[in-house]
Structure 1
Amino acid sequence: MNGFVPNVATPVVLAGLALVLAGPAPAWLARAHWPRRVPRAALVLWQALALAALLAALGAGLSVATLAVLEERPNAGVLVLYGAALAVTLTVLARLLWSAHTLGYSLRARRRRHRELIDILGRIDGRAPGAHVLDASPAFAYCVPGVHTRLVVSSSALETLTDDEIRAVLEHERAHARARHDLVLEGFAALRNAFPRLVRSRAAFDSVAALVELLADDAARRRAGALPLGRALTRLAGTPVPAEALGAGGVSALARIQRLAEPPAPSYRVLATATYVAATALVVVPTLTVAAPWLSQLSAYLP
């Protein structure tokens, strides 16, 4: 076997890491209050956490498969165990790819139909430049994201909000569209849907949804001011938003209003830097310390 010695510790370490990153770590991060101080860095940390958990889970299954193939004299029980581990890994990967495909296809179809309805029913109003106005009684504002984004406000919102507040709301929605926050949320939704209902958790998705709203709030505050945005969110809090859209009055509106009412926060450069370093370490450290030696040993064995 060209001196190759299967390393049983590799799949054990990777599997344990996957369990920690998929269970306790997201639960702790979702309960923490500091991410709202550095929402952009916290969003990167959530993405790194999800990526590291997925890579660890897939690496655990694939490393188990190499043990079965390269072991000198595997018995039937070992082969069954290794085969089951590989089957679970492939199942998780297949469910993830299928979830991403079905969710993406469904969302894009619903958004396309929504945009078509907006183009038919909406009208232009000078008080909401770049937006489509729908004649409706609830006061709402949202964007239908995509390559051809639609900004939508209701006629009731135009009657309720001042010009400064309308501008703040539209800047919030434009921030969503520019940053393509819909793709970030779509990725976490696909990851959540890939797991069985019994072990499925909304912690990551809900936390990321709150963070993208904070990022849009920060962008709107820079362009239109905190006071008009806070007043607008107060009037729009709790208003319905279509599932395929991103709305200013949607996720955690009350908490965001309280954040806007606080005095300007000091620079959290140290916290942001530490968060970025932690996000990088989540992906790089397991790769260098666990996966890389296994891959190096395996490449030396292969012709």
Structure 2
Amino acid sequence: MSALAFSIVALLLVGPVPAILARASWPLRAPRAAVVLWQSIALAAVLSAFSAGIAIASRLFVPGPDGRPTATIISEIDALGWPLWLLYVVVLALTLLIGARLMIAVVQVAIATRRRRAHHRMVVDLVGKPHRSSGLRVLDVDQPLAYCLPGVRSRVVVSEGTLTTLSDREVAAILTHERAHLRARHDLVLEMFTAVHAAFPRFVRSASALDAVKLLIELLADDAAVRATGPTPLARALVACAAGRPPSGALAAGGPTTLLRVRRLGGRGNSLALAASAYTAAAAVLVVPTVALAVPWLTELHRLFFV
């Protein structure tokens, strides 16, 4: 039952749970805690999938006639029967596949993202004008545009249209927003969710987690800008830069979620109660399934190999 329970938990955390959470409105008032909750859900999904595989592997070593774990495929089939043995093998293979896909996805996402950023950073350094602010490049573009390129050699990029169209406080708000992304390394959070999304098979995974986290990290950067300049300059800057199209791998101030973010700036502020509840839920998502489901098959492993 432990293997079945782990499998059910993994499927719930990959599909229905992210879909339900993505439709909730409360994360807008507790973005940092919501990101932690999303991270806990993703980690719990991966751990549950691996735990299901380990639990199934332990069942393949069922006790033989002498009470010792079976050691050959024939003895395993004799003890379990063909249907159950085949089911265990398929689920174990699927678990190993997810693990391999996760490791490959982490490497692929990291390499591809850094390659794109390095190329665009080189282009920006060549065609952009340096600004008196460290790490800032200005592009000769009339349309208001602002984005950042994270990494060891990070850059904040703005257009001439941003500097000429926006007021000083609005420019300060947009720069604070982008530098908040760089300081908190929000790009690493996105890479993790992108890799997890790619690791699970298409028929069970959902894009809800990745889309929701993209919005939440923008809200975190918005909050940093609000603390520096207030909500009004940031709202005006976001609207001005909404139509800008950043390169792949960059984190931009504008985008399709601009309207939602501007409305949030005029609504109620962040809630400590919601944040506390989200942190509690994040801890429960990791701790409760582990304690409730891991103990039975750990006990079985101990009985098989140490008793």
Relative to the length of structure 1, the TM-score reads 0.91
Deviations 1:114-164 (A, max 9, x none): 1111111111234x6641001123321000011221000011211211111
- Whether 2:27 is the aligned partner of 1:35: answer yes
Out of 73, 76, 82, which is 2:82 matched to? 76
Out of 262, 278, 281, which is 2:284 matched to? 281
- Whether 2:271 is the aligned partner of 1:268: answer yes
Q: Which residue identity is paired with 2:17?
A: A
Which residue number in structure 1 is paired with residue 123 of structure 2? Answer: 117
In structure 2, distance between residues paired with 1:134 and 1:222: 27
Aligned residues with identical type, % of pairs: 47
Deviations 1:232-266 (A, max 9, x none): 0011113111121000112511111111123x52x
In structure 1, distance between residues paired with 2:232 and 2:63: 67
Which residue number in structure 2 is paired with residue 4 of structure 1? Answer: none
Shift of residue 301 of structure 1?
A: 3.5
Unaligned residue ranges in structure 1 (runs of 5+): 1-8
In structure 2, distance between residues paired with 1:251 and 1:54: 30
Out of 165, 169, 175, which is 1:170 matched to? 175
* RMSD between superposed Cα atoms in Å: 1.6
In structure 2, distance between residues paired with 1:125 and 1:87: 54
Shift of residue 297 of structure 1?
A: 3.5
Which residue number in structure 2 is paired with residue 51 of structure 1? Answer: 43
**CA 1:50 to 1:251, structure 2 compared with 1: closer, same or farther past 3 Å?**
farther
Whether the 8 Å contact between 1:213 and 1:251 is mirrored in structure 2 is: no
1:230-245 matches, cutoff 5 A? 230-245=235-250
Out of 204, 208, 217, which is 2:213 matched to? 208
SS of structure 1 residue aligned to 2:151: coil
Out of 2, 6, 17, which is 1:25 matched to? 17
Which residue number in structure 2 is paired with residue 62 of structure 1? Answer: 54
Which residue number in structure 2 is paired with residue 97 of structure 1? Answer: 103
Unaligned residue ranges in structure 2 (runs of 5+): 65-78
Shift of residue 70 of structure 1?
A: 2.7
Shift of residue 296 of structure 1?
A: 3.8
In structure 2, distance between residues paired with 1:198 and 1:298: 32
In structure 2, distance between residues paired with 1:186 and 1:296: 36
Shift of residue 111 of structure 1?
A: 0.8
Whether the 8 Å contact between 2:139 and 2:158 is mirrored in structure 1 is: yes
Shift of residue 302 of structure 1?
A: 2.6
- Whether 2:287 is the aligned partner of 1:295: answer no
Shift of residue 200 of structure 1?
A: 3.9
SS of structure 1 residue aligned to 2:147: strand
In structure 2, distance between residues paired with 1:189 and 1:106: 12
Number of aligned residues: 292
After the TM superposition, which of the residue ranges 112-121 and 171-180 deviates more from structure 2? Answer: 112-121
In structure 2, distance between residues paired with 1:279 and 1:192: 19
SS of structure 2 residue aligned to 1:108: helix
Shift of residue 292 of structure 1?
A: 2.9
1:142-221 matches, cutoff 5 A? 142-221=147-226
Q: Which residue identity is paired with 1:44?
A: V
Relative to the length of structure 2, the TM-score reads 0.90
Q: Which residue identity is paired with 1:27?
A: A
In structure 2, distance between residues paired with 1:129 and 1:99: 34
1:10-21 matches, cutoff 5 A? 10-21=2-13
In structure 1, distance between residues paired with 2:243 and 2:48: 39
